[in-house]
Every structure is written in structure tokens, then in C-alpha cells.
Amino acid sequence: MQQLSRILSWCQQSLFPNLEETIGPLSKKMQSLVMLIEMVSLEEHLPQPSFGMRGRPQSDRRPLARAFMAKAVLNLPDTRSLIDYLQESQTTRRLCGWSRRGEIPSEATFSRAFSEFAVTHLPQRLHEALIKQCESTRLVGHICRDATAITAREKPRRRRSIPKKRQGKHRRIFKQFHEMTLDEMVDDLPKHCDVGRKHNSKGRMEQWAGYSLHVDWADGEIPISCLLTSASTHDSQAAIPLAEISSRRVTSLYDIMDAAYDDTLIREHSIAMNHVPIIDHNPRRKAKQNFDPAKAERFSLRSSAERGFSRIKDSFGARFVRVRGHPKVFAHLMFGILALTAEQLLRAAS
């Protein structure tokens, strides 16, 4: 957190004035982009291309990665809008690394670069590095685990018929708890586009075609770990993998989850990690069990997950999913989550 305070102080006292003298006034959005670029060690994950090989040299991918960060910060709907914005905004163009309009690559180059970023999990790696750099030494009080619907522009896969003895979410959770490594858990989760159904906060059943985004939120609405699954995947099936990922990044005390995660194995897994599970009771035709006052107060912190999802959708591009396929959709969402994470970390440090 001290490192974040130093970055924030340096940006406000030195970097912003110098940039404004060079490229003009910086809006709040541009200041957010500058701080995101400073916080993310892009050069460590995306080195400068070498030019010793035969054939046409590959264009530098770092300005393109910064451009996709700008797309998330500015909440632009698609790549065409991003290119148009870069053509008009000299400030954004120069922050990304292009001096002139003619240096901006074509839409096809943007598309190829984004495919590379998706396959190599670039935004996921940047987010993981940022969390480990800024949050690994802090004791996180509460992890709020939840999922949200992500609508996609692709044809959902038709669900195949599964024998009754193999149906249900409990078989996957059992295997996760007793048999699987973390990599096996993540690989086993469904990742195709399909149709999901769940009750919203008002108790109404809603349906969507696309995916489910599962996130562990730390205090301060900071996303710690994320997974993207098929829309039909029950929230509880991502609980143990998320908990394992988060435990490798931060140290936390309480796991807060709604009634969708009310499962004995999920509770046992949380306790085995030396956490205190606070999971809303799912009556399942039985009497509802209420929290004691202390746990009820902690459970109220779960609203931070709802606020976080709202911000991702309203301000960081999660409502504008124009790409297709799990890797690209996840990469698109993770650029937005990366921008939100940087903003929330700086807010906590200020």
C-alpha cells in the first residue's frame, strides 16, 4: 500500500504536470489511464519485439496493449470506436505510444493482437501480478464471492442430455474437494457459450445467453481472482477453484457467500484454509436459519460484490461484449477488471 501511495504522489506532483506540458491537459479518464499504465509492469509480460529474424518484423504489441487498456478505461464499445477515438485524441494516442495518426495500426492488426493477448492470457497475468504486488502483504478481512451474467453475441451451444445419475453440481464439487489440483479444477469447468437462468436480487427468474463471470472481491471492491464459465454453470461449482486462486494471492479471514454456495464441502474447504465461512442458508424446503448479529453484520458486506459487478458493466465495458469465444470474452472482461482494480487500489491508498 505504501508503494501505491508513492505512485499516486509521484503522478500527481511530477508526472501529470510534465505530461500536461508535453501533450496538453489530462482529463480524469486520462489520469486514470496514466496511473494504470504506471502500475502495470507491461514490459515484463510483453517484451519489445526483436528485429533480427527474416521477413516483415512484427509490430510492437505494447502500444496495442495500452490501447486496449484505454478502451476499458474509456468504456468504448468496440475496436472500431477505439481506433476512431485514437485518431481524434492526440493525448490518448501519445499515451498509448503513437505520435502520429498514420502510426495507428489497422483494425485487422488490432484484432490479431487481441487474439494473441487472449491466447497468452495477458490481461489475466497483468491482473495477477498487480494483486500480488499490492495486496499480498495486506491482511484482507473479507472475501465476497459471487457471479454475474455476461451476455454474449454468439450462438449458445445446445445442452446435451446427461444421465440422471451424473447430473447435478455436487459431483463436480466432490471431485474438486477430494481429487483435483487447481489446474484440473479450472480446466474441468464448462467454458462454452450457453443459456443460463438464475434469480436476480428481486427474486425474479432471468435468462441470458453467454457466460457467467465469477469474482472474489476483497474489502474496498477490489477484484482478487476471476473465472469465466458457461452461463449454465452453477455458482457453487466455481467456489473452490476461486478460493484456491485467491489464497495464492492474498491472505484473508472471512469467506462471504450467498445461498447459492450453501454446500457442506464448500464450508469444509473454507475451514480447511483457516477461513471463517459466512454462507447464507438455503432452506431447501426446511426452516430458514438466520445469522447471529455479528455474522449478519459481516454478511451485509456482500453488497460490495453487487456494486463491483455494476461498475464493471456500467463503466468498464462488460456490457459491450462484441468478441466471440471464451478466451476472447475473458480477455475483454479482464482488461476492464484490470482497470477497475487499479482504480480501487489507488482509491484505497489515497
Spatial contact of 348 and 3, defined as CB atoms under 8 Å apart: no
Domain 139-159+167-321 -> CATH class: alpha beta
Give the model's pLDDT for residue 1.
62
**Residue 103 pLDDT more than 90?**
yes
In the chain, how many H helices and how many E strands? 16, 6
Give the pairing type, strands 222-230 and 205-218.
antiparallel
Give the model's pLDDT for residue 51.
58
Domain segments of the chain as ranges: 2-47+61-120, 139-159+167-321
Question: Which of residues 235 and 24 earns the better pLDDT score?
Answer: 235
Give the model's pLDDT for residue 158.
74
* 3-class DSSP assignment, residue 342: helix
Give the model's pLDDT for residue 164.
47
pLDDT digits (tens, 9 = 90+) for 150-182: 999 888 887 665 554 555 567 899 999 999 999
Give the model's pLDDT for residue 269.
97
Burial of 25 (0-12, 13-18, 19+ CB in 10 A): exposed
Give the model's pLDDT for residue 326.
97
**Residue 53 pLDDT more than 90?**
no
Which H or E run includes 316? none
Closest C-alpha to 63, from 46, 50, 77: 46
Spatial contact of 341 and 172, defined as CB atoms under 8 Å apart: no
Question: Which of residues 163 and 329 earns the better pLDDT score?
Answer: 329
CA-atom Rg of the chain in angstroms = 21
Average pLDDT for residues 316-338, to the nearest whole number? 97
| CA separation for the pair 287, 117 (Å, rounded) | 49
Give the model's pLDDT for residue 56.
63
Residue 292 carries which side chain, given as an amino acid letter?
D
pLDDT digits (tens, 9 = 90+) for 264-323: 999 999 999 999 999 999 887 677 788 889 999 999 999 999 999 999 999 999 999 999
pLDDT digits (tens, 9 = 90+) for 119-144: 999 999 999 999 999 998 889 999 99
**Residue 24 pLDDT more than 90?**
no
Give the model's pLDDT for residue 268.
97
pLDDT digits (tens, 9 = 90+) for 178-194: 999 999 999 999 999 99
Give the model's pLDDT for residue 146.
97
Which H or E run includes 117? helix 107-119
Spatial contact of 231 and 149, defined as CB atoms under 8 Å apart: yes
pLDDT tier at 9, thresholds 50, 70, 90: confident
Chain mean pLDDT for the chain: 91
Give the model's pLDDT for residue 282.
86
**Residue 85 pLDDT more than 50?**
yes
Backbone angles phi, psi at 235, to 5 degrees: -55, -40
Give the model's pLDDT for residue 350.
76
Q: How far apart are the first and last CA of the chain?
A: 10
